[in-house]
Each structure stands twice: as structure tokens, then as C-alpha cells.
Amino acid sequence: MPDSKKYIFAFVMTVAIFATALFISNSVSEGKLAEIQNIQYRLSLDILASETQSALLEETSCRNVNQIPLTKELGELAERLAAAEEQSGSDNQDVQSLKKQYFLLEIRDYLLMKKISEKCGVNPTFILYFYANETDCEDCQKMGFVLTALHEEFPDLRIYSFDYNMELEALHTLRSIYGLEETLPAIVINGDPYYGFRPINELIETVPALSRLRTQQIKLQKEATSTKTLEN
């Protein structure tokens, strides 16, 4: 093959490889953008749903106090938002905007559930978890795992997570209400703040609300065992 043909062939191959790489890159970028837009759309709908639920509060049945659809939606949105943050980076402006919308949605849900609880005369346990990025808080990720395990232990817990350093006025107000210090990780359980990493057993033993849940759980387990024994 003459040298000119070799150069042309090499050039064509280089262009083809570059074009393929560019196409793949654009496809991935479009995929990330589509996912971010999808999360944003769902957040907008859920914020509207929260406002509607507040307006319909007087009509809410106390029998379904633990089955509010918006609360269930929060967990799924948190997972998708975490995936978007991992793909696009925590400093991405779209991701930052989504996180702010999500935190507002959490605060709305928290206030809504408190109102419903007061109306229905029930006392759920609320946990507000304040964290920071790993570079600013070495124990925050471990504390997150503890809270996930705690929710598996007590499914009726209502846990809301917030980035302590997020510039959001509503979040600043929430921190001020509970007089939070800058020591992280920080959790607020039914209005009482706790600081630093705490293993799950320590939390259950030292936090009155969680101790009561464990006592109730043990009581129900004993009653279930007694019932089975009588049936046999």
C-alpha cells in the first residue's frame, strides 16, 4: 500500500475511533441529563403533592397515618439522587439544585407528618440526620449505615437526611430551631440533639424513644410466641 493510502487509512480510522468515542460520550451525557431531568420532574410533582396533602390534612384518615404515599416516595428518590450525584459529582450545579429541592421536600414531609401525628394522637419517632461530605466528616458515612440498619429494625421510624453545609435558608432555620452545633454527624431524635458516631446498640440503649420501641418490640415478640405455644 502506497504511503499516501496508508496515511489516508490511518486518518480515516482515527476519525472513526474519535467519532465513536464522541458518540458514546454524548450518549452517556444525555443519559445523565435525562436522569437528572427525570428526578427534577418527580421532585416538582412531589412538592406539589405535599402542598395538596397539607390542604387535605383535615380529611386524612388516621387509620392510614403510616401509609402516606409521599413518605414512601422519599426513599426511592434519595437512592436515585445519590446515583446522580455519584455519576455527575457533588459539585454539579444540577445535582446541587436537585438536592435543595429534595431537602425542601423532606422538610415539608416532616412538618406534614408532625401535623398528622398531632391530629391523630400518635407519637412516631422522628430522626433528623445532618451529615457532610466524607472530607468534612469521616464518621458520617458510618452513621448513615447505622441509621439504615435502625430503620430496618424499626420500619415505622421517620428518618430525614440533610447536608449540613447546604446553602438553603429553610435548612438554616431547621438547624437553628434545634440549636445544632457544627459537630458532625448530628442527629435530632424527637427534638433532642445527639452528636458524633454512635453504634446502633448504643443508640437504642441511650435514646428514650428508641428504648421504648425496643421494649414494645420485645413485648410483641413474646405475645406472638405465647400465641403460637397456645395454638400448638
pLDDT computed for residue 66 by the predictor: 57
What does pTM read for this prediction? 0.72
Banded pLDDT at 178 (limits 50, 70, 90): very high
Confidence at residue 117, expressed as pLDDT on a 0 to 100 scale: 83
The share of the chain scoring above pLDDT 70, in percent, equals 65
In a shared domain, residues 130 and 182: yes
User: What is residue 91's predicted lDDT score, i.e. its pLDDT?
Assistant: 75
Reported as a single tens digit per residue, the pLDDT across 190-215 is: 999 999 999 999 999 999 999 999 99
| Host domain of residue 100 | 1-124
For residue 24, the model assigns a pLDDT of: 45
The pLDDT score that the predictor gives to residue 142 is 94
Mean pLDDT value across the chain? 76
Claim to verify: residue 141 and residue 89 sit in the same structural domain: no
- Grid coordinates of 191: 427534638
Domain end marker among 68, 95, 124: 124
Residue after which a domain boundary falls, among 71, 92, 124 = 124
pLDDT of 45 over the 80 cut: no
pLDDT of residue 200: 95
User: What is the structure's pLDDT at 58?
Assistant: 56
Are both 115 and 136 inside the same structural domain?
A: no
Q: What is the pLDDT of residue 199?
A: 95
| pLDDT for residue 147 | 93
Residues 114 and 129 in one domain: no
pLDDT for res 94:
76
Same domain, 2 and 115: yes
Question: In this structure, are 153 and 232 located in the same domain?
Answer: yes
User: At 188, which CATH number?
Assistant: 3.40.30.10
Q: Are residues 194 and 182 in the same domain?
A: yes
pLDDT digits (tens, 9 = 90+) for 124-166: 899 999 999 867 898 999 999 999 999 999 988 999 999 999 9
pLDDT score recorded for residue 184? 95
Q: How far apart are CA 206 and CA 189, in angstroms?
A: 11
Q: How would residue 34 be classed by pLDDT, with cut points 50, 70 and 90?
A: low
Secondary structure of the chain as H, E, C letters: CCHHHHHHHHHHHHHHHHHHHHHHHHHHHHHHHHHHHHHHHHHHHHHHHHHHHHHCHHHCCHHHCCCCHHHHHHHHHHHHHHHHHHHHCCCCHHHHHHHHHHHHHHHHHHHHHHHHHHHHCCCCCEEEEEECCCCCCCCHHHHHHHHHHHHHHCCCCEEEEEECCCCCHHHHHHHHHCCCCCCCCEEEECCEEEECCCCHHHHHHHCHHHHHHHHHHHHHHHHHHHHHHHHC
Whether residues 43 and 97 share a domain: the answer is: yes
Question: Could you report the per-residue pLDDT of 53-64, keeping only the tens digit for each?
Answer: 556 655 656 666
Among the candidates 100, 124, 148, a domain finishes at 124
Nearest to 195 by CA among 134, 147, 106, 129: 129
